[in-house]
Amino acid sequence: MSIHQFNFKNIVGKEVSFKSFEGKVVLIVNTASNCGLTYHYKGLEDLYQEYKDAGLEIIGFPCNQFGKQEPGTSEEIQSFCDLNYGVTFPLSEKIEVNGSNAHPVYKYLKSELKGKLNDSIKWNFTKFLIDRDGTPYKRFSATVEPEDIKPYISELL
């Protein structure tokens, strides 16, 4: 089993297969525009610019499950990310990461890489690093800064 069996809808509603990322290292992050960690967008974009030509893909999954910190529409989220952080990496439509309505890719990632207490996502900007074969490699808590993930990305690239 790998992440390549899953699909998601991007921020404009187009179906995207994770198969399109085969051979790439992928960093998956649940995001929010009104969070104390929203500045992570800048660090994520910096990582993307530094490593995208080497085979890194970052995908942001907006989620409103934590403190209702992502209340906007897809258009508002995209505009916020463009204007405030110059985000060029792909974003999905808004999803849920916990509970019965959790997106299938998050159900899979949480089952493969459990958190400290259980498999639930605790907050915005939890990060999952996926290797080139689509296998979940490492999970990072929300408080891990994007630049602190560089050694792990370099290891996989």
End-to-end CA separation in angstroms for the chain: 21
- Does residue 88 surpass a pLDDT of 80? yes
Give the pairing of strands 127-130 and 56-62.
unpaired
What is the model's pTM? 0.95
48-81 tens-digit pLDDT: 999 999 999 999 999 999 999 999 999 999 999 9
125-147 tens-digit pLDDT: 999 999 999 999 999 999 999 99
- Given the residues 35, 44, 95, 105, select the one marked as catalytic: 35
The whole-angstrom separation of Cα 95 and Cα 126 is 14
Please state the domain extents for the chain. Answer: 3-8+27-156
pLDDT at res. 114: 73
34-47 tens-digit pLDDT: 999 999 999 999 99
Active site residue 63: no
- Nearest in space to 33 (alpha carbons), one of 86, 69, 84: 69
The whole-angstrom separation of Cα 136 and Cα 27 is 10
Name the CATH superfamily housing domain 3-8+27-156.
Glutaredoxin (3.40.30.10)
DSSP H stretches of helix in the chain: 40-51, 74-85, 104-112, 150-156
